[in-house]
Amino acid sequence: MTESLHEHYAQVATSQPDKMDAFWMPFSANRQFKKKPRLLASAKGMFYRSVDGREILDGTGGLWCCNAGHGRDRITAAVSQQIETMDFAPTFQMGHPLPFLLAERLAAIAPDPLKHVFYTNSGSESVDTALKIALAYHRVRGEGQRTRIIGREKGYHGVGFGGISVGGLPNNRKFFGPLLPGVDHMRHTLDIARNGFSKGLPEHGIELAEDLERIALLHDPSTIAAVIVEPISGSAGVVLPPKGYLERLRELCTKHGILLIFDEVITGFGRVGKAFAAQRFGVTPDLITCAKGLTNGSVPMGAVFASNAIHDTFMNGPEGAIELFHGYTYSGHPLACAAALATLDVYAEENLFEKAIELGDYWEQKIHELRGLPNVIDIRNFGLIGAIELSSRPGAVGARAYDVFTTCFHDKDLLIRVTGDVIALSPPLILEKNHIDRIFGILAEAIRETA
Ligand code: PMP
């Protein structure tokens, strides 16, 4: 980017706030933001550059998506080349080679037997797609009475109507009417009283998986199509599965013929030390949703992995008939496919999926050194994910964490993410120990100064 563009953006940001009115920002306090904007202009490696020219260390991988760091030449080249070669091609009753090639590559890193890929453009679309596949699968097999879906409190599954229905964050649901019928929720697994300051997976809470049995029996298990959970939830403030919990969900799903969906939009592509959390935890769902890290955040793309059994059920119908009435104009978009293929190359060549295991212990040690700082009531970590939970300022949930966030950004050149009272961290997997030292050094200062 040229200096003059930098200057132009900086000017818009600082001296012409009226020019910022037209953009209705998503998931943002628009008026507050526009009084004191935080604007990024460029990015490379572990760093953003702000419009006022500061280097900002990225503690959040953009938004949990830039797992290989920013501005990766290989991805840039692949996308540039692709747009010159072919900007768009339909994938409805048509095709081009890239989505087929990419699906083979993705299937190779996905857990067995999830070897089929349906493309979307986002995590939200992946979730709605997975829910629809689950419902249609039962219907195609003659079990059309399986229409109920079970989610979980504190779950975040994007913002489509399916996703907010199975999701469990009240603010994301309450403005939008009755939502999908036939949805029930298990309790969440966050339990600071019993598991506070756990390192890695918490000890207590496996019994919460029995909520699935209770809900299944309440409605009759043969009416339940699917259960959807994030193996580790991010948007709710990093909620970890207690030891044995996911295994027990798997057992109960198998027992009752219920499909298990893992929403791996944030845990996919190396965040926890394997391609998918399913592999790290040794628990295999029937469907996996992903997005974000699939293209390193560079071009919007999501995907759903389906088990062979699910896929083959659809393929058993009469040949020549459309097997699933679902898809997006941009499913398998050439630019997204090119970006994803290059991203997978970078992940493989740099062994980035192993990074969360190699650096996990150091990350864990450093984040837990923040214990004892003012207002810190819990610290949670797994792989290269971290969360620091602060007590609420009376009458102002989230205000303390927000202060830490703005102090980090404006005064200390660190980008973190906050959700409610939780500071959440998910750095690019290319980080080194010195970045970890810097992230937690800055955070400690900011937590102290804002207390
Ligand atoms: N599922 C999970 C688990 C997520 O964390 C997110 C996004 N943070 C989504 C779905 C939605 O993804 P998107 O914003 O790309 O629609």
Average pLDDT, the chain: 96
The total number of structural domains in the chain stands at 2
φ/ψ (deg, to 5) at 58: -90, 105
The average pLDDT across 33-49 equals 97
The SS3 of residue 406 is helix
Best mutation site among 229, 238, 265, 301 for ligand 1 pocket (most ligand atoms within 8 Å of CB): 265
Assess contact for 406 and 449: CB atoms under 8 A.
no
In this structure, are 239 and 168 located in the same domain?
A: yes
Q: Ligand 1 within 6 A of 127 CB?
A: yes
Residue 400, pLDDT above cutoff 60: yes
In this structure, are 304 and 395 located in the same domain?
A: no
Q: Going by C-beta distance under 8 Å and a sequence separation of 6 or more, which residues neighbour residue 283? A: 231, 246, 247, 249, 250, 262
Q: Ligand 1 within 6 A of 103 CB?
A: no
Using the 3D structure, point to which of 349, 368, 401 is the last residue of a domain: 349
Query: What's the pTM?
Result: 0.97
Is 278 a member of any domain?
Answer: yes
Is 430 a member of any domain?
Answer: yes
Compute the distance between CA of residue 211 and CA of residue 313 in angstroms, rounded to an integer: 29
In this structure, are 269 and 257 located in the same domain?
A: yes
ipTM score assigned to the predicted complex: 0.99
- Looking from the CA of residue 124, the nearest atom of ligand 1 is 16
Best mutation site among 172, 289, 292 for ligand 1 pocket (most ligand atoms within 8 Å of CB): 292
Any idea which residue has 């996703």 for tokens?
A: 163
Compute the distance between CA of residue 291 and CA of residue 123 in angstroms, rounded to an integer: 5
In this structure, are 275 and 164 located in the same domain?
A: yes
Q: Please report the pLDDT score of residue 348 as a whole number.
A: 98
- Looking from the CA of residue 264, the nearest atom of ligand 1 is 3
Q: Name the strands in the sheet holding 40-44, side by side, starting at the edge strand that comes first in the sequence.
A: 40-44, 47-50, 55-58, 414-415
Q: Furthest-apart CA pair in the chain: how many Å? A: 67
Q: Going by C-beta distance under 8 Å and a sequence separation of 6 or more, which residues neighbour residue 389? A: 192, 237, 376, 377, 378, 379, 380, 421, 422, 423
Q: Please report the pLDDT score of residue 19 as a whole number.
A: 83
The average pLDDT across 317-323 equals 95
- Looking from the CA of residue 63, the nearest atom of ligand 1 is 8
In this structure, are 361 and 418 located in the same domain?
A: yes
The residue type of 356 is: A
Using the 3D structure, point to which of 301, 329, 349 is the last residue of a domain: 349
Assess contact for 356 and 384: CB atoms under 8 A.
yes
Residue-wise pLDDT tens digits, 92-112: 999 999 999 999 999 999 999
Domain residues for the domain of 367 are 38-68+353-450
Using the 3D structure, point to which of 296, 323, 349 is the last residue of a domain: 349
Is 325 a member of any domain?
Answer: yes
